[in-house]
Structure 1
Amino acid sequence: MAEPLRVFLVAGEPSGDQLGASLIRALRKGHPGEVIVEGVGAEAMAREGLRSIFPLTDITAMGVIQVVRKLPLILRRASDVVAAAVAARPDVLVIIDSPDFTHPVARRIARRMPDLPIVNYVSPTVWAWRPGRAAKMRRYVAHVLALKPFEPAAHLRLGGPPCTYIGHPLIERLDDLAPAAGERSPLSEGPLRLVVLPGSRRGEISRLMAPFGETLRRVVAGSEREIEVTLPAVPHLSAEIRRAAEGWPVKPRIVEGEAAKYEAFRRSHVALAASGTVTLELALAGVPMVVAYQVSRAEGLLKFLITTSTIVLANLVVGENVVPEFTQEDCIPEKLAAAVMPLLDDTPERRRQAEAFARLPEILEADAPTTPSERAAAIVLRVVAEWRAGTRLG
């Protein structure tokens, strides 16, 4: 009978919780013995049997100001994670995204348990921000599980740990994102459907709702077509979003939940969105878009450290800056509206995005025989086997 596999997982935010839950399921599918999970997560990982050592909300923070305010609690929780991991004596530590929290924790655990293999699920953006992190990661990370196809080459170039592209988890949602026959009306018929996504965090909402509303006013004034607007809202910010949208020139249909959000994507012709994973979701749904983002003044001063030409995930994956983006002082209604208007008709700007988005399934290896979660689990199991055998091949 196979010996149990003890896995200690540390997620730092809800998206990592979802990845962790899928990984646990895949590990149980791939390992012949019992899989025992401990660590930090939220509802999704809890459904897979993990009892988080503290609520995930204790360590989630957005922006410099919020991080500073929560710093004493975050530091205490980091120490709690280190102590719990050492006490658990796991076979492997898996840190999931949130590098500002998970990597310092991993380094401390590695010092206490130098023979423990550490797998990093979701690469830090070393290719865009603080590239020197890659070589430092090699000291304590056995393997990196990358969600973007260009990341293994980046780690190789920067001297990082062994890195494997496992596929983006959105690959598993293609059926939810792709419009069914007749679901998206022809661009030339009926009202134009615009989906507006001002973000999922309070700071994003507070900065983007006003310029997005004024952008809509300009778009409506400049178009002869009827325009319908759908605004997917995260439930805990729904009330704030509804209040902020009261003065918009087009009353948006505000929906909640992932299913309603994906339905809006499948029906929409154009999107105005905050930067984030949602840009890749929209691209997979075939929705041309304009992307905007604003951060605090303090964070904006750090933009000179970014070494990539775009912050839009869809652009990064297709390898071409097809989606226009407007950040900080450029994130103004005049520029946003001017970029949205050409997408309302069959124009070169619209066709360029559509043609690039059509390449995404092939780029993301959507036809692979296994899912990203299954590939992630296979590498975790291989790393554990190598460590147990003393080979450590990576």
Structure 2
Amino acid sequence: MSDNTIVIVAGEASGDILGAGLMRALLKQRPDLKFEGIGGPQMIALGFTSLVPMERLSVMGLVEVLGRLPELLLLRRRLIKRYTQTQTHPMAMVGIDAPDFNLVLETQLKLNNIPTVHYVSPSVWAWREDRVFTVAKACHRVLALLPFEVPYYERHQIPATFVGHPLADVIPGPLTLQQARHQLQLKDQPVLALLPGSRAMEVQKLAPDFLAAAAILQSQMPHLQLVLAAANVQRHQQLLTLLQSYPQLKIALVLEQSHRVLAAADAALVASGTATLEALLFEKPMVVCYRLSPISYALFKRKLKVPFVSLPNLLAGQKVVEELLQHQVQPQRIANHLQTLLIDQAAAQNQRSQFQDIHQQLACGADVTAAKAVIEVINQCNKEFGSGCKL
């Protein structure tokens, strides 16, 4: 490892997008920078060295993580040893989301005078408020995607920068609805997009209900076209297996084309997460679902401090989209809400209008803003530590 190495640890597809954008912006400042840690295909395509597959960090839920805990703890110890017990320390570490994994790693690196940045604010304002003290110990700065997060950190004297979201800078892009439908070989008839998540657990818990709801809608609306988006090769195989139980369903399964699928859609059924933000930016009326194990959900609900869990509602500060959680995730219920969005133009337009306002707030040139913040942290820390290594 050279002294011009920046460590990035991202745990899922959305983190891969953020990491790749940050790398591009930093490389414009210093083309000789090297990047390693844990990342996905977009980061790897830019020269990133991923020490383990990013999929190993993609786990959600308090109970679900227990089965993977020994592996995750061993991996984290390996990374701490790699970056602290060598003569050459990395220039900085950027932990992208995955707070349960990254905050401990960041803390150990920070104790060794390595500049640390946490990209994507942990939802301390929503639940687990006590974790704000962990954030303060872990990183020199938080990069927040949402505008209301920075004042919260400022109240706790934690440096934070609002960067917006890089997806807001590139979506919807030049792809029109007609072009997307042509590329997906769809007719000029109503289209429903189904995005059941990028994690194996999400697809396992949500996809059967998504497909059952889609079957109900297609029986009621024979001309409705269904497009199922697989986030990666693993999810594609998982969904392909599930589809064998729905031989009557006329549905297109596409791989790694979620933006094209959303561009082509009239409405979307989405697992809560980054995909809801993507649907919002494409201005697609949506229904949001999520399901955890019963124990995980009970623990999560007890600590939840906000009335919503989906990003569109959190950003709007009010209920804009329907959220169906746990036992509410029922095929008929999902179908009823989606049918309203597909038929009632006023209901669909109400969501689209709210989405347009939110889009404007989030389009801030996030990649460049985040890179500037990382450079500031490196230079400030090196001045404090007496190092001459600056960007």
Shorter-chain TM-score tier: 0.7 to 0.9
Aligned counterpart, 1:11: 10
CA–CA separation in structure 2 for the residues paired with 1:388 and 1:183: 48
Q: Does 1:23 align with 2:22?
A: yes
Q: Distance in 2 between the 1:351 and 1:91 partners?
A: 48
Deviates more, 1:172-181 or 1:277-286: 172-181
- What is the number of equivalent residue pairs in this alignment? 376
CA distance in 2, matches of 1:53, 1:180: 39
Residues 81/391 of structure 1: CA separation in 2 closer, same or farther (3 Å cut): closer
Which whole-Å CA distance do the structure 2 matches of 1:357 and 1:42 have between them? 29
> Aligned equivalents of 1:357 and 1:98: distance in 2?
26
Residues in 1 aligned to 2:93 and 2:225: alpha-carbon distance in whole angstroms: 48
Give the conservation status (yes or no) of the 8 Å contact 1:122–1:144. yes
Q: 2: CA distance between counterparts of 1:137 and 1:156?
A: 12
| Secondary structure of the corresponding residue to residue 195 of structure 1 | strand
3-state SS of paired residue (1:352): helix
Unaligned runs of at least 5 residues, structure 1: none
Tell whether the 8 Å contact from 1:59 to 1:77 is kept in structure 2 after alignment. Answer: no
Describe the shift of the 1:359–1:149 C-alpha distance in structure 2 as closer, same or farther (beyond 3 A): same
User: Equivalent residue for 2:261?
Assistant: 264
1:244-283 equivalences in 2 (<5 Å): 244-246=242-244, 247=246, 249-258=248-257, 261-283=258-280
Q: CA separation of 1:353/1:379 partners in 2, compared to 1, >3 Å: closer, same or farther? A: same
Q: Give the 3-state SS of the residue equivalent to 2:138 in structure 1.
A: coil
Give the match for residue 89 of structure 1.
89
TM-score for both structures, normalised by structure 1: 0.86
- Indicate how the Cα distance of structure 1 residues 58 and 235 shifts in structure 2: closer, same or farther if over 3 A, else same: closer
Q: 1:229 aligns with which of 226, 231, 240?
A: 226
Question: Residues 330-364 of structure 1: CA distance to partner in whole angstroms, max 9, x if unpaired?
Answer: 11123212211211224432221111112133111
Q: Is the 8 A contact 1:177 1:265 kept in 2?
A: no
Whole-Å separation in 2 of the counterparts to 1:98 and 1:383: 21
8 Å Cα contact 1:290/1:323 also seen in 2: yes
Identify if the C-alpha distance between structure 1 residues 301 and 267 changes in structure 2 by more than 3 Å, giving closer, same or farther.
same
**Residue 227 of structure 2 aligns to a residue in which SS?**
strand
The Cα of 1:244 is off from its aligned counterpart by: 2.2
Distance 1:221 1:53, change over 3 A: closer
Quick one: distance in 2 between partners of 1:372 and 1:52? 23
2:139 is aligned with 1:141: yes
Conserved 8 A contact 2:177-2:264: no
Q: 2:375 aligns with which of 381, 391, 394?
A: 381
Match of residue 319 from structure 2: 321
Any conservation in 2 of the 1:283–1:357 contact (CA below 8 Å)? Answer: yes
**Letter matched to residue 348 of structure 1:** A
1:107 corresponds to which residue?
Answer: 107
Asked whether the equivalents of residues 6 and 93 of structure 2 are also in contact (C-alpha less than 8 Å), the reply is yes
Q: Equivalents in 2 of 1:270, 1:249: separation in Å?
A: 22
- Structure-to-structure mapping, 1:1-394, within 5 angstroms: 5-31=4-30, 34-86=32-84, 87=86, 88-111=88-111, 113=112, 115-157=113-155, 159=156, 161-176=158-173, 179=176, 191-223=189-221, 226-233=223-230, 234-246=232-244, 247=246, 249-258=248-257, 261-302=258-299, 303-364=301-362, 366=363, 368=364, 371-390=365-384
Q: Which amino acid aligns with 1:30?
A: Q
CA RMSD of aligned residues (A): 2.7
Q: Aligned equivalents of 1:342 and 1:46: distance in 2?
A: 42
Kept after mapping to 2: 8 A contact 1:177/1:284: no
Answer whether contact 2:3 2:90 (CA < 8 A) is retained: no
Change (3 A) 1:183 1:207: closer
Q: Is the 8 A contact 1:271 1:289 kept in 2?
A: yes
Partner of 1:359, secondary structure, is helix
Question: Which consecutive residues of structure 2, in runs of 5 or more, have no partner in the other structure?
Answer: 387-391
- Counterpart residue identity of residue 283, structure 1: L
- Residue 237 of structure 2 aligns to which amino acid in structure 1? A
Q: Could you tell me how far 1:21 is from its partner in structure 2? A: 2.8
**Structure 1 partner of 2:389:** none
Q: Which residue identity is paired with 1:266?
A: A
Change in CA separation of 1:78 and 1:327 when aligned onto 2, cut-off 3 Å: same
Distance (whole Å) between structure 2 residues aligned to residue 290 and residue 376 of structure 1: 31
Flag the 1:325–1:16 CA change in 2: closer, same or farther, 3 A: same
1:326, distance to aligned residue in structure 2 (A): 0.6
Change over 3 Å in CA distance of 1:312–1:336 after alignment to 2: same
Letter in 1 for 2:256: G
Distance (Å, rounded) in 2 between the aligned partners of 1:214 and 1:53:
39
SS in 2 for 1:8: strand
Alpha-carbon distance in structure 2 between the residues aligned to 1:181 and 1:83: 52
CA-to-aligned-CA distance 1:235-286 (integer Å, 9 cap, x gap):
222233133234265311111123xx32221221111121111111111112
- The structural deviation recorded for 1:328 is 0.6
- Assess if the C-alpha contact under 8 Å between 1:146 and 1:152 holds in 2: yes
Give the match's secondary structure for 1:89.
Answer: coil
In the alignment, the residues of structure 1 paired with residue 141 and residue 199 of structure 2 have an alpha-carbon distance, to the nearest angstrom, of: 31
Greater displacement, 244-253 / 160-169 = 244-253
- Contact map agreement 1:219 1:337 (CA 8 A) in 2: yes
Could you tell me how far 1:145 is from its partner in structure 2? 0.8
For residue 280 of structure 1, what is the amino acid of its counterpart? L
